[in-house]
Amino acid sequence: MSHGGHGHTHDGSEGPGHTHGPQSPPQAMMAPPGPDPMVQAALDEQFRAINLTLADPSTAVCSAHKKETCEECNLDFTGLNALAKVLPTLNEPGIPPPPNVVHPGRSQAVQKAKEDGNNSYKQKNWAQAINHYNTSANIAATRFPWEPAALVRDELAIVICNRSAAYWASEDFASALVDADVVIQLKRPWSKGHFRKAKALVGLDRLEEARDALMLGLQFEPDSAEMLAFKKEIEDSITKRNDGPPVGVTASS
C-alpha cells in the first residue's frame, strides 16, 4: 500500500532507520451485511436439491439413470456440461486483453454446438436440435465484455433463427414466434428473421400478420424469391378464406 510522500511498498517489516509519523489507531473491520431476509426466504422456498453424479470430471449425469438428459428425472445437464468443458480452455486473465480480442476456444464451442444442432435437425430430431442450439446460444451469450458486441449478435441471431426453425418443425409455433422476434431485434435487416416470423404466424393461423412480416422483410431483401413465393401463397390463402371455407397454408420450411 503506498503512502503520500513515499514511493515504496511494505511486506510487514521495516528496514533500519525507517520511521513514520504519528500512527492512527487501527480501525475495526466491519462485518459484511447479511442477506435480505425476504430474498433469502424466497431463495429457500425455490431451492430444489438435484441428485447428480459425475460420469467424468466434466460430465454431470442424473444419479438414478446415469443420463445427461433424463426425461424420467426431468433433468438436462447438456448446457452445464458444455460450459464445464469450455471453462478449462479459457485463460485466467489477470489483466483484460485489449478490446475486440476474440477467444478462439469459445468461437469453436459456439460453432460446434450449432453444427450438432444442424445435424440433429437434418435427422428430424427436433428436441435434440433445440438442446444443441440452447447450448450454442448460452455459450455465445456469455462472451467476455471486451469481445465485439457485433460478433455476439451475429452468433445469437443465426443460432436462435435455427432454433426457431426447429420449434416450427416440432409444431411449437409460439416458441418459434418468440425466437423469430428475438432474431429481428438482434439483426433487423436480416430477412431470415422476418421469414421465420411469418412461418410461425402462419402456424398460429395469423395470416394477415404473417403477410405483414414478409412485407417488412422484403424491404430489406426485395428480390427474395423465397419470401415473394411465400407471400403469394399467404395472400391466396387469405383470399380463399375470405371467399369460402378456411384453407391452411402448407408452405415448406
Successive 10-residue mean pLDDT values, the chain, 253 residues: 42 41 49 66 71 83 87 83 73 58 82 95 96 94 82 93 97 96 94 96 95 95 93 93 63 49
Residue in the structure block whose three cell numbers are 442450439: 133
Please report the pLDDT score of residue 148 as a whole number. 83
Residues 234 and 240: beta-carbon distance below 8 Å: no
Task: Give me the torsion for CA of 226, 200, 127, 112, rounded to 10°.
Answer: 50
Is the pTM here over 0.95, yes or no?
Answer: no
Q: State the Cα torsion 33-38-42-45 to the nearest 10°.
A: 100
pLDDT value at position 250? 52
**Predicted pLDDT at 54:** 86
Mind listing the pLDDT tens digit for each residue in 45-85? 776 777 888 888 778 888 888 888 888 888 888 888 887 77
- The pLDDT of residue 122 is 96
Please name every residue paired with 69 in a beta bridge, in sequence order, or none if there are none. Answer: 76
